[in-house]
Structure 1
Amino acid sequence: MKELVEVLAKNLVDFPEQVEVVQTTKDHTIVLELHVAPEDMGKVIGKQGRIAKAIRTVLKAAATKDNIKVILEIIQ
């Protein structure tokens, strides 16, 4: 899951070297914190949150086959 978010985010932003994903696990839930440069926040979130919603949809589809829950938090 962590690698999937990294690949998606690095292809969206202007500063891919500043993309960092931190993964923590609790019970059957994976929490992913996506850290990007302040200038790239808009590119990762998108208009009205469409890009962020699409990333979350892809994560949930990947997590469904493993029967786990995934939460994505986008942080500056």
Structure 2
Amino acid sequence: MKELIETIVKPLVDFPEDVQVNVMEEPTRVTYHLTVNRTDIGKVIGKQGRVAKAIRTVVYAAGSSQQKKIFLEIGE
């Protein structure tokens, strides 16, 4: 899942080397924290959050087979 998030986000940003995905796994959920360069945060979120919502939709769909809830947090 981490690789999927990186594959989606890296082409969107100007500084792909700054893209990091940290995984925090708990018994009932998995949280992915996406970190990008400060200047790229707007590109990842998009107008009215449309890009972020699309990324979350793909990630949630890919993780729907897991028995845990999946969360994606986006930050700088």
Is TM more than 0.5 here? yes
TM superposition score normalised by structure 2 = 0.94
Cα deviations across residues 2-34 of structure 1 (Å, max 9, x unaligned)? Answer: 111111110110100000100010113110110
RMSD value over aligned CA atoms? 0.9
Q: Percent identity?
A: 51
Looking at structure 1, the residues matched to 16 and 47 of structure 2 have their Cα atoms a distance apart, in angstroms, of 20
Task: Give the match's secondary structure for 1:64.
Answer: coil
Partner of 2:50: 50
Cα deviations across residues 50-76 of structure 1 (Å, max 9, x unaligned)? Answer: 000001101111111223211111111
Matches of residues 19-34 of structure 1 in structure 2 within 5 Å? 19-34=19-34
- Count of residue pairs the alignment pairs up: 76
Task: Give the match's secondary structure for 2:63.
Answer: helix
Gaps of at least 5 residues in structure 1 are: none
